[in-house]
Structure 1
Amino acid sequence: MTQVRSKKRAISGWIVLDKPYDMTSTQAVGKVRWLLSAAKAGHAGTLDPLATGILPIALGEATKAVPQIQDGTKVYRFTIGWGRATTTDDAEGEVIATSDKRADQGALEAVLPRFIGTILQRPPAFSAIKVDGERAYDLARAGETVELAARPVDIDTISIVEHGGEASTLEVTCGKGTYVRSLARDIAEALGTVGHVTKLHRAAVGPFTDADAVTIDMLEAAEAGPARDALMAPVARGLADLKEIRLDAGQAGAVSHGNSVLLTGAAAPAQLDECWVSFKGQVLATGSVEYGQFKPRRVFNL
């Protein structure tokens, strides 16, 4: 019997997925795209298979807002298992060093301020960073020694959620490019011991938080069509961290064709590095404002 393929739909919006453990980000996008019969889908920031939490999946025109989400602030809750270092800096790797020393809460509290602000961080050898055109994790899995250069990352806050003898759970608010596995490794080293991430949950990405999240089970339980579509967030939710400028009909018509427009009114901004414009509640474009003129970078067709 020939299986009938479902017709792909040109739908636009966000599924703010609570990605389950042991699923890759690519697998999650494929599952969501299939469940919603979406013609186009992508994710805004990879989560490791062993991590859970917020994976914003963009459908249709929302894919044009992926860069804004990727550049947004992230919040992670993670558990450091003390006394063992691994090749991957998480529970997936092989143990390469051990220590009998455990971190007491006072010492941990004292060392955390060193990791706040703009810090230099060496990414894990098992990462997606390219080395001479190859992914670092591919080289590492092939047995090659991978030494990645330290790079600056921004850490806003770190706090202790729970502390125990063998493990401690922390919460970090950080910027783009931060590796929590590296953070755990470096905190352990600063305490004179070794450690690795045993649990990792992303609690927020840009404007999306755990409160917005839906699960694969919720999507599967909802009836295909309007009920399942209702679990999508609108395209504009992904731009909530940027300033919105509302246009009139004439301005909207020009922007929809990719043209710049002069902003009018006493409250019109003169300069903005990044913003978005709308007409009657619909996203028209993202772009910048220079000398009172909005210049579109990406135009949305909603």
Structure 2
Amino acid sequence: MGRRRKGRDISGWIVVDKPAGLTSNAVVNKVRWAFDANKAGHAGTLDPEATGVLAVALGEATKTVPYITDALKAYVFTVRLGQATNTDDAEGEVIAQSDARPEDAAIKEALHGFVGDIMQVPPKFSAVKIDGERAYKLARDDEEFEIAARPLFVESLILLERPDADHITLEMVCGKGGYVRSIARDLGEKLGCFGHVRNLRRVWSGPFEADKGVSLATIEELARTPELDQHLLPLELGLTDLPHVAATSEGAAKMRHGNPGMVIASGVDYGEDCWASHNGVPVAVGQFRAGALHPSRVFNLSEEQ
């Protein structure tokens, strides 16, 4: 019999404005401890030196993580021109240099090639698995390997400013699976000058915004207090991109047992994914078919006030 995980049955989202110097998993562990939550997870890894939105789900909200992971995200980052590093960021060793510095017009023109549906090769220092091993481990062991290109949707990529000849600040809005370090590396190669990420901030992810996030210092200061719970956001924010339907009392009872349940829906197409609530409490996510929601995820939440 498995050991029961200890902690409170607390569900919702906490948006952390992640500081530099910590892994995403380390932040999640601190948040879980601070809330004394029985379960926690995050919706999209940030590199240790990156800052900004790290959306942490607690309890039943972890079932909505895939919908935030799939949502668009925005990054603001600075590229150091003239240098390539083995990690594609400032933490790595410089492996190539150039005195070339492109004009702003050339940079803006090059950015067009990174917008839309593109193919991107992740950095060698990344968590991508190669024959069961993490790429960063193979890279640290100086192993020779190749990483296959992966599809990425980039909605926009614009030049925000150029503080000096060696640096440019960009803003990118993209789908899941994007590596900003790869954008910096490939842009530098396209411009013939090399490049790597100097700093990186995720400014929003789906419905979550960095400027409305909570600092890790505040979370630690308020740990295990009712005041910290006031920063918890509702589970349904993770379902923002899905249509909402209202479950009948009987339908909600059936869905909570994993069975199709009747819902009241308007403007929802047959076979479309949506989420249902009853008395203001999320019940399930699933496909809408013939007036019923067929659940794929069921939320174990009480309607008692």
| TM value normalised by structure 1 | 0.94
The answer for the alignment partner of 1:22 in structure 2 is 21
Does the 8 Å CA contact 2:12/2:59 hold for their aligned counterparts? Answer: yes
The answer for the alignment partner of 2:268 in structure 1 is 269
Does the 8 Å CA contact 2:245/2:264 hold for their aligned counterparts? Answer: no
SS at match of 2:214: coil
Structure 1 residue 118 and structure 2 residue 135: aligned?
no
- Matched residues, number: 295
Deviates more, 1:222-231 or 1:120-129: 222-231
Does the 8 Å CA contact 2:259/2:294 hold for their aligned counterparts? Answer: yes
Does the 8 Å CA contact 2:250/2:262 hold for their aligned counterparts? Answer: no
Does the 8 Å CA contact 1:269/1:292 hold for their aligned counterparts? Answer: no
Q: Equivalents in 1 of 2:245, 2:24: separation in Å?
A: 33
Q: Equivalents in 2 of 1:278, 1:268: separation in Å?
A: 16
1:273 Cα offset (Å): 3.5
The answer for the alignment partner of 1:191 in structure 2 is 191
Structure 1 residue 241 and structure 2 residue 244: aligned?
no
- Runs of 5+ in structure 2 lacking a partner? 1-5
The answer for the alignment partner of 2:225 in structure 1 is 225
1:262 Cα offset (Å): 4.1
The answer for the alignment partner of 2:278 in structure 1 is 279
Q: Equivalents in 2 of 1:148, 1:156: separation in Å?
A: 24
Q: Equivalents in 1 of 2:153, 2:134: separation in Å?
A: 23
Q: Equivalents in 2 of 1:136, 1:17: separation in Å?
A: 27
Residue identity (%): 48
Structure 1 residue 11 and structure 2 residue 5: aligned?
no
Q: Equivalents in 1 of 2:179, 2:117: separation in Å?
A: 13
Deviates more, 1:186-195 or 1:208-217: 208-217
The answer for the alignment partner of 1:182 in structure 2 is 182
Shift of the 113–291 alpha-carbon distance from structure 1 to 2, 3 Å rule, reads farther
- Runs of 5+ in structure 1 lacking a partner? 1-6
1:28-69 residue CA offsets vs partner (Å, 9 max, x unmatched): 011111111111111111111010111111111111111111
Does the 8 Å CA contact 2:285/2:295 hold for their aligned counterparts? Answer: yes
Does the 8 Å CA contact 2:263/2:292 hold for their aligned counterparts? Answer: yes
SS at match of 1:146: coil
Does the 8 Å CA contact 2:77/2:197 hold for their aligned counterparts? Answer: yes
Report the RMSD for the aligned CA atoms in angstroms.
Answer: 1.5
The answer for the alignment partner of 1:56 in structure 2 is 55
Does the 8 Å CA contact 2:247/2:261 hold for their aligned counterparts? Answer: no
